Amino acid sequence: MAVVGLGRTAARPRLLRVPATTVLTVLGLAALAAVWLLPLVWIGVTAFKPAPEIIHLPIRWLPVHPTMHNFAVALTTNRTASIGRAFLNSTVVAAAETLFTLAVDATAGYALARLEFPGRRLVFAIVVASIMVPFQVTLVPLYLMFEHVGWLNTYQALVLPGLSRAFGVFLMRQFFLALPRDLSDAARIDGAGPLTIFARIALPLVRPALAALGIFTFLRSWNEFTWPLIAISRNDMMTLPVALSRLLGSFFVEYGIVMAGALLAALPLIAVFFIAQRQIIEGVALTGLKE
């Protein structure tokens, strides 16, 4: 509408106020978004194509004989992990890692931000420095440790290592630091202990930060590839990224089945993002990310 209005003159003053740059921005974004989404559309249409139509030149976007066969195979195959089972595993692992991460990072972040204790600066320095330790440094030893206690192919093998990440502690500390001091001072005068102040006053105030950290953690865990690839050798324990990579053959890729699996795996996340995107961005905004 704005585009139409723009060309007119004084007759429609209100529409005139839509600046040309806005129109150009929207048009540019629309073009870019179309290109951006094309690979996703490609995944979507491929999932509905029968095998002979998939590798085909000239390229045809729409399936001539649409089929649900690929979805059936992706869900029921006995070749490798079933997509349904992998979905369950990914959900359990990502949810557990998110919950535990929130718990340990919020408590540690609070202690480092608002409580005085000997060794505080040292602990914080070590924890922050560990952000720079790349995961592969712990890859081989973690494998051997989990092998030793017989925890390969278990959920805890997938969940626990992530809890050691400093990212969330850092984030939570920043946010607790930003809370006004007077609130806790008032509570202390009323005789509340440090734990009570944390649980009753500070924690409710950082809900948006918890939401943001939760989303970050969930997505990272959901997309984690390297560690599950190494720690899991059984079909029934595979997470989605590994299970989907197992659908790829050495000599021949059955694109239809792979794409059907991909679509099934992505749909719930896509739905969640569209419903919750405002909260996600605002949650992140509120954490401040500032020093």
For residues 42-101, which are near another protein according to CB under 8 A?
42-43, 51-52, 55, 57-59, 77-81, 88-89, 92
Q: 247-286: which residues touch another protein (CB under 8 A)? A: 248-253, 255, 258-259, 262, 265-266, 269-270, 273-274, 277-278, 280-282, 284-286
Ranges of beta strands (E only) in 102-199 are none
Tell me which residue of 268, 259, 270, 264 sits closest to 63, measured CA to CA: 259
Shortest Å, Cβ 213 to another protein: 12
**Considering the complex, what minimum distance in angstroms separates the CB of residue 118 from another protein?**
7
CA 96, CA 159: separation in Å to the nearest integer?
7
Minimum Å gap between C-beta 226 and another protein is: 5
Q: Which is nearer to another protein, 187 or 286 (CB)?
A: 286
230 binds another protein (CB under 8 A): yes
31 binds another protein per the rule CB under 8 A: no
Q: Report yes or no: 262 and 97 within 8 Å, Cβ to Cβ.
A: no
Q: Tell me which of 66, 135, 200, 207 binds another protein, using CB under 8 A.
A: 135
The footprint of another protein on residues 187-226 (CB under 8 A) is 193-195, 198, 212, 219, 223, 225-226
Q: Of the candidates 20, 29, 31, 68, which one interacts with another protein according to CB under 8 A?
A: 29
Which residues touch 153 (CB under 8 Å, ≥6 apart)? 231, 232, 233, 234, 237
Q: Binding residues for another protein, how many (CB under 8 A)?
A: 128
**Two tokens at 137?**
């440094």
240 Cβ contact list (under 8 Å, min separation 6): 83, 86, 87, 89, 90, 222, 265
DSSP 3-state percent helix, strand, coil across the chain (nearest 5): 75, 0, 25
Q: Applying CB under 8 A, which of residues 74, 94, 102, 127 lies at the interface with another protein?
A: 127
